Structure 1
Amino acid sequence: MIFRKGELFNGPGGFALGSSWALVKGKNETFSVTHEWSNDICEDACETYKKNICPDRPETVFTKDVRLLDIEKLPEIDAFIFGFPCNDFSIVGEKKGFNGDYGPLYSYGIKVLKHFKPKWFIAENVGGLQSANDGLAFTTILKEMVEAGYKITPHLYNFADYGVPQTRQRIIIVGFRNDLNIDFKVPKPTHGPNGNQPYRTAYDALMNPPIQKDAPNHEFTKHTNKVIQFLKHIPPGENAWYEGIPEHLRLNVKGARMSQIYRRLHPDQPAYTVTGSGGGGTHMYHWEEPRALTNRERARLQTFPDSFVFYGGKEKVRQQIGMAVPPEGAKIIVEAVLKAYAGIWYPSVEAKWDIDEIVYQDKLNLVTT
């Protein structure tokens, strides 16, 4: 069976690429996912999506504000994925939640569920969603998914636990339509202390194999001599506040000191979270060479293959990479969905949240812990 997938807030196509890699063979049938249509407001992200995900069907990617999208005129789908904007739920920033410009956009995903009634859906957002609006945002979103007719399983995933060379925590909500009577199980971690393989390291991601000099999106940043000297005094894994930095090179910053500022990767550990925005000192830094990572290196940490070309200016490409779902992580989740649908057993762990207690008994304290 081939599930026809619709997607809102498609970004550059991390979830779409991972979905295209997912393939599950049942006793008498093979299960896979194919692109049907998608939407995003960002022109550069849509160009990236078109060229890499559906080059033969660019007209199926709708570049516009989701609030202007005529959902009812879109083609029929069996599956739906939406990584609704996380700007107002992120732990970096003001955490406006429902009070921000982006918080309410999840509701367009609910409209898709109610109109198309796909067999299953996957929703994705940052970990900060669980505490936005004192936990009310998370509870409200889950309730609306249940009311749309779905049995849902929310869980906080750390993609490093699934072979992604990066510590990246995201809330993933999987839902199956009620009439299918399917229980989704969170796939068991494959890496780290709870898996059977060691974590993938930043060194492995960037050096195995080495990136070709002419690889796309591999432009190097030109640093001032002061920044270069500054970085030379920061050991792998340390940041701008390392005590060994000479006094004359130290940053004059008052107040909160973000741990990611001029933080260098540690070659023997997964990278810290790749982000899509931020000023000086937030571009991620090589453990050996005194420089920021290139966009291609950030894409490697996000598990995009080197053949995946990002379109747009350097900062727009950085934004796309940082906002994306790692394709290899997406593949594992989609394969678990396909196995659940096919009735195939796979190793699993208990979900972080008990949906019955959150939605039906409305215990907000379970959301914020």
Structure 2
Amino acid sequence: MEFRMGELFSGPGGLALGAKLAEFTDDTGEKWDFKHSWANDFDQDTVETYKLNLLHNPDAKTVFCEDVSKFPIGDKSILPDIDALAFGFPCNDYSSVGKQKGLGGVYGPLYSYGVKVLKYYQPKVFIAENVGGLSSANEGYALVKILEEFQSSGYHITPNLYKFEEYGVPQARHRIIIVGIRNDLYEEGIHFHVPEPTTPDPKDMKTSQQAIEEPKIPVDAPNNEMPRTTKKVAERLSYIPEGENAWYLGIPEELRLNVRGAKLSSIYKRLDHTKPAYTVTGSGGGGTHMYHWKENRALTNRERARLQTFPDDFKFIGSKESVRKQIGMAVPPEGAKVVMEAVLKTFAGIEYPWVKPTEKLQLDNLLGVKKYEPIELEL
């Protein structure tokens, strides 16, 4: 069975690649998969990356570079009907790394365009992704509002905090993913369950060294240019042991940073080769580029892409900084695959190991929290 999929805020294609990897054939010989229908993102380089790698067609007309507020949602001559909607709505205003403006920020309300698609198209299922900080934005009010709007659009929702390092991703990346099954299908017995972690034990988790070195990155791999490292930065790094950052006490006074900052931050933080990486990010200035556990340098973009589980032949389009941003903002394809595969198995009636969803994220447990007034959209 084929699920025609639409995407908002598609990024370079992490969710789409995860959906592609999730396909399987059941015991009867029937194939279950997602098929690209249309996608949208605001960034031109990101759109070009998506078209090249997911569609293998730089001229594809089904991926739109457009402000979501101007995207022709509902015009089925341009955006035809879909069976599934995937959207990693922008996390800038919910991230614990940022200022957590939540619904009051520029990006916070953008989830509402996903709601607009749900109301117009009523797909069988949706998959929405955001940072773990969403649960605390606006003192928890933001999550309540978002879940209520998803539910009122006609869906039974299952929010869960996925710790991707527990699913084979070599990175401590914690994300809220909300899966919604259309109410009529839920009543017919289509019940999504959170897939059980595959590597819950720390000793079984894939490490940053394994991700980057096993196998070696091919010499012709794209986006693998060595970063420029100044003599002073290289010298500073030489005093920082793996797993430590710029506030390590062994750094000589003349090489310490003359700034106030959180001593648990990732500024000039080296990877620990025995553990999954810390979270790959897509923004930030000097000292935030992720640093090799042994060599006195930042990681290459290809090394970051490996931590995000993109294959070596996945070519990102744009400048080094554009590529860095695309990689950091993406959903790890191997993490997305776990969720997408569970969605397909749910519809196929195939049982799989599952766990209860994160209790504190369930709407019934959040309804005591004050609600925001709905954001009105012109439909």
Q: In which range does the TM-score fall when normalised by the shorter chain?
A: over 0.9
Of 287, 290, 313, the match for 2:319 = 313
1:156 aligns with 2:156: no
**What is aligned with 2:239?**
233
CA displacement 1:281-313 (0-9 Å, x = unmatched): 000000111000000000000000010000011
The separation in 2 between residues aligned to 1:249 and 1:91, in whole angstroms, is: 28
Gaps in structure 1 of 5+ consecutive residues: none
**What is aligned with 2:9?**
9
Q: How far does residue 221 in structure 1 lie from its aligned partner after superposition?
A: 1.4
User: What letter corresponds to residue 192 of structure 1 in structure 2?
Assistant: P
RMSD over aligned CA atoms reads 1.5
Check conservation: 1:3, 1:78, Cα contact below 8 A: yes
**What is aligned with 1:116?**
121
Question: How many pairs were matched up?
Answer: 361
Check conservation: 1:6, 1:37, Cα contact below 8 A: yes
Q: How far does residue 256 in structure 1 lie from its aligned partner after superposition?
A: 3.4
The separation in 2 between residues aligned to 1:258 and 1:165, in whole angstroms, is: 20
The separation in 2 between residues aligned to 1:127 and 1:344, in whole angstroms, is: 29
The separation in 1 between residues aligned to 2:248 and 2:150, in whole angstroms, is: 46
Comparing 23-32 and 326-335, the one that deviates more? 23-32
**What is aligned with 2:374?**
none
**Equivalent residue runs for 1:40-55 within 5 Å:** 40-55=41-56
Of 188, 195, 200, the match for 2:196 = 188
**Equivalent residue runs for 1:22-37 within 5 Å:** 22-28=22-28, 29-37=30-38
CA displacement 1:247-279 (0-9 Å, x = unmatched): 221111225345200000111100000000001
The separation in 2 between residues aligned to 1:263 and 1:140, in whole angstroms, is: 36
**Equivalent residue runs for 1:248-267 within 5 Å:** 248-267=254-273
**Equivalent residue runs for 1:275-286 within 5 Å:** 275-286=281-292
Gaps in structure 2 of 5+ consecutive residues: 371-379
The separation in 2 between residues aligned to 1:255 and 1:332, in whole angstroms, is: 36
Call closer, same or farther: CA 1:356–1:10 in 2, change over 3 Å: closer
Relative to the length of structure 1, the TM-score reads 0.95
Which segments of structure 1 move beyond 6 Å, counting only runs of 4 or more? none
User: What letter corresponds to residue 226 of structure 1 in structure 2?
Assistant: K
1:90 aligns with 2:91: no
Relative to the length of structure 2, the TM-score reads 0.92
**What is aligned with 1:19?**
19
The separation in 2 between residues aligned to 1:335 and 1:133, in whole angstroms, is: 33
The separation in 2 between residues aligned to 1:311 and 1:172, in whole angstroms, is: 27
The separation in 1 between residues aligned to 2:25 and 2:362, in whole angstroms, is: 30
Query: What SS does the aligned partner of 1:170 have?
Result: strand
User: What letter corresponds to residue 54 of structure 1 in structure 2?
Assistant: L
CA displacement 1:77-106 (0-9 Å, x = unmatched): 111100000011110121111111111110
Of 212, 222, 235, the match for 1:206 = 212
**What is aligned with 2:148?**
143
Check conservation: 1:358, 1:364, Cα contact below 8 A: no
The separation in 2 between residues aligned to 1:227 and 1:355, in whole angstroms, is: 45
Check conservation: 2:192, 2:346, Cα contact below 8 A: yes
Check conservation: 2:226, 2:300, Cα contact below 8 A: yes
User: What letter corresponds to residue 189 of structure 1 in structure 2?
Assistant: P
User: What letter corresponds to residue 21 of structure 1 in structure 2?
Assistant: L
**What is aligned with 2:376?**
none
Comparing 18-27 and 97-106, the one that deviates more? 18-27
User: What letter corresponds to residue 3 of structure 1 in structure 2?
Assistant: F
Check conservation: 1:139, 1:358, Cα contact below 8 A: no
1:126 aligns with 2:128: no
Of 166, 169, 181, the match for 1:176 = 181
